[in-house]
Amino acid sequence: MESKEIPKRFEPGTSEAKWYAHWMQKGYFRSVPDEREPYTIVIPPPNVTGVLHMGHMLNNTIQDVLVRRARMQGKNACWVPGTDHASIATEAKVVRLLGEQGIKKSVIGREKFLEHAFAWKEKYGGVILEQLKKLGASCDWERTRFTMEPDLSEAVIDVFIDLHKKGLVYRGLRMVNWDPVALTAVSDEEVIHKEVNSKLYYVRYKVEGAAEGVGDHCYNASGNDLR
pLDDT digits (tens, 9 = 90+) for 64-94: 999 999 999 999 999 998 776 656 777 888 8
Q: In one letter, which amino acid is 83? A: T
pLDDT band at residue 2 under the 50/70/90 scheme? low
Q: Kindly give the pairing relationship between strand 200-205 and strand 214-220.
A: antiparallel
- Do residue 166 and residue 188 come from a single domain? no
| pLDDT tens for each residue of 93-140 | 888 889 899 998 889 988 898 888 888 777 776 777 888 898 899 999
Q: What is the pLDDT of residue 53?
A: 74
- Do residue 96 and residue 176 come from a single domain? no
Neighbours of 145 (CB within 10 A): 16
Q: What proportion of the chain, given as a percentage, has pLDDT over 90?
A: 29
- Do residue 83 and residue 71 come from a single domain? yes
Domain count, the chain: 2
Q: How many residues are listed for the chain in this entry?
A: 227
| pLDDT tens for each residue of 180-198 | 877 888 878 778 888 889 8
- Report the predicted TM-score, pTM, of the whole model to 2 decimal places: 0.66
pLDDT band at residue 202 under the 50/70/90 scheme? confident
Residue 2 lies in a domain: no
Q: Which residues contact 85 (CB under 8 A, 6 or more apart)?
A: 44, 45, 46, 47, 147
Q: Residue 186's beta-bridge partner residues? A: 177
51 vs 126: CA distance, rounded Å: 10
- Do residue 46 and residue 118 come from a single domain? yes
Query: 226 vs 10, 95, 156, 175, CA distance in Å?
Result: 55, 26, 27, 5
Q: Which residues contact 17 (CB under 8 A, 6 or more apart)?
A: none
- Do residue 159 and residue 198 come from a single domain? no
